[in-house]
A and B are shown apart, each in its own frame.
Chain A
Amino acid sequence: MSTETMPDTHSSIDADDYFVLGDPIADTAAPAGPIKDRWSKRRFDAHLVNPANRRKIKIIIVGTGLAGGAAAATLGEAGYQVESFCYQDSPRRAHSIAAQGGINAAKNYKNDGDSIDRLFYDTVKGGDYRARESNVYRLAEVSANIIDQCVAQGVPFAREYGGLLDTRSFGGVQVQRTFYARGQTGQQLLIGAYQALQRQVNAGTVRMHTRHDMLELIVVDGRARGIVTRDLITGEVEAWTADVVILATGGYGNVFFLSTNAMGSNVTAGWRAHRKGAYFGNPCYTQIHPTCIPVSGDYQSKLTLMSESLRNDGRIWVPKSGEDKRDPRDIPEEDRDYYLERRYPAFGNLVPRDIASRAAKYVCDEGRGVGPGGLGVYLDFADAINRLGRKAVEAKYGNLFDMYAQITGENPYETPMRIYPAVHYTMGGLWVDYDLQSSIPGLFVGGEANFSDHGANRLGASALMQGLADGYFVLPATVPDYLAEHKLAPVPLDHPDVLEAVQSVKDRIDLLLSIQGHRTVDSFHKELGHIMWEYCGMERTESGLKKAIAEIRRLKAEFWSDVLVTGKGLELNQALERANRVADFIELGELMCIDALERRESAGGHFRGESQTEDGEALRHDDEYAYVAAWEWGGDGGRPILHKEDLVYEYVEMKQRSYK
Chain B
Amino acid sequence: MKITLRVWRQKNAEDPGHMQTIEVPDVSSHMSFLEMLDVVNERLALDGEDPIAFDSDCREGICGMCGVVINGIPHGRADSPVQTTTCQLHMRSFVDGAVIDVEPFRSEAFPIIKDLAVDRSALDRVIESGGYISVNTGSAPEANSTPVPKAHADHAFESATCIGCGACVAACPNGSAMLFTSAKITHLGLLPQGQPERDSRVLNMVAQHDAEGFGGCTNIGECTAVCPKGIPFDNISRLNHDLLGALVRGED
Q: Which range holds the interface residue count of chain A?
A: 35 or more
Q: Assess the B39–A164 pair: CB atoms within 8 A.
A: no
Q: Which of B1-9, B57-65, B219-227 contacts A (4 or more CB under 8 A)?
A: B57-65
Question: Which residues from B are CB-within-8-Å of A304?
Answer: 59-60
| CB contact under 8 A between A98 and B144, given known A159-B150, A406-B84 | no
- Within 8 Å of chain A (Cβ to Cβ): is B46? yes
- Within 8 Å of chain B (Cβ to Cβ): is A496? no
Question: Which residues from A are CB-within-8-Å of B38?
Answer: 299, 301, 522
Return A405 CB to nearest CB of chain B, in Å: 8
Contact partner of B149 (CB less than 8 A), chosen from A163, A210, A299, is: A163
> Mind listing 19 A-B residue pairs with CB under 8 Å?
A98-B58, A145-B140, A148-B140, A148-B142, A151-B143, A152-B193, A153-B140, A154-B133, A156-B157, A181-B160, A201-B128, A202-B129, A299-B36, A304-B59, A520-B45, A522-B38, A566-B45, A566-B50, A572-B114
B binding-site residues for A, Cβ under 8 Å: 11-12, 28-32, 34-36, 38-39, 42, 44-46, 48-51, 53, 55-65, 80-82, 84, 88, 90, 92, 113-114, 117, 119-121, 123-124, 127-138, 140-144, 146-150, 153-154, 156-157, 160-161, 163-164, 187-188, 191, 193-194
Q: Assess the B57–A93 pair: CB atoms within 8 A.
A: yes
Question: Which residues from A are CB-within-8-Å of B59?
Answer: 262-263, 301-302, 304
Question: Which residues from B are CB-within-8-Å of A405?
Answer: 81
Measured in the bound complex, the distance between the Cα atoms of B65 and A301 in whole Å is 16
Measured in the bound complex, the distance between the Cα atoms of B37 and A299 in whole Å is 10
Measured in the bound complex, the distance between the Cα atoms of B39 and A523 in whole Å is 11
Measured in the bound complex, the distance between the Cα atoms of B80 and A158 in whole Å is 30
Question: Which residues from B are CB-within-8-Å of A89?
Answer: 55, 65, 119-121
Return A252 CB to nearest CB of chain B, in Å: 16
Measured in the bound complex, the distance between the Cα atoms of B221 and A426 in whole Å is 43
Return B189 CB to nearest CB of chain A, in Å: 10
Measured in the bound complex, the distance between the Cα atoms of B161 and A520 in whole Å is 37
A binding-site residues for B, Cβ under 8 Å: 70, 73-74, 77, 88-95, 97-98, 107, 109, 145, 147-154, 156-165, 181-182, 184, 187-188, 191, 194-196, 198-199, 201-202, 208, 210, 233, 260, 262-264, 296-297, 299-302, 304-305, 402-403, 405-409, 472-473, 476, 518, 520, 522-523, 564, 566-567, 571-572, 574-575
The number of inter-chain residue pairs (CB within 8 angstroms) is: 222
Name the prevailing secondary structure of the B interface residues.
Answer: loop
Q: Assess the B57–A187 pair: CB atoms within 8 A.
A: no
Q: Assess the B141–A74 pair: CB atoms within 8 A.
A: no
| CB contact under 8 A between A154 and B193, given known A148-B143, A299-B31 | yes
Q: Assess the B137–A149 pair: CB atoms within 8 A.
A: yes
Q: Assess the A93–B63 pair: CB atoms within 8 A.
A: yes
Nearest CB to that of B204 among chain A residues? A202
Q: Assess the A297–B90 pair: CB atoms within 8 A.
A: no
Return A382 CB to nearest CB of chain B, in Å: 22
| CB contact under 8 A between A90 and B194, given known A149-B140, A188-B160, A262-B59 | no
Q: Assess the A564–B46 pair: CB atoms within 8 A.
A: yes
Return B3 CB to nearest CB of chain A, in Å: 14
In the A-B complex, the 7 residue pairs with the smallest Cβ-Cβ separation, listed nearest first, are: A163-B147, A195-B132, A152-B140, A156-B157, A151-B143, A148-B140, A159-B153
Q: Assess the B153–A156 pair: CB atoms within 8 A.
A: yes
Measured in the bound complex, the distance between the Cα atoms of B153 and A45 in whole Å is 41
Question: Which residues from B are CB-within-8-Å of A297?
Answer: 28, 30-31
| CB contact under 8 A between A156 and B53, given known A196-B132, A304-B60 | no
Contact partner of A406 (CB less than 8 A), chosen from B55, B64, B80, is: B80
Q: Assess the B53–A574 pair: CB atoms within 8 A.
A: yes
Nearest CB to that of B42 among chain A residues? A520
Measured in the bound complex, the distance between the Cα atoms of B132 and A91 in whole Å is 15
Contact partner of B133 (CB less than 8 A), chosen from A70, A152, A406, is: A152
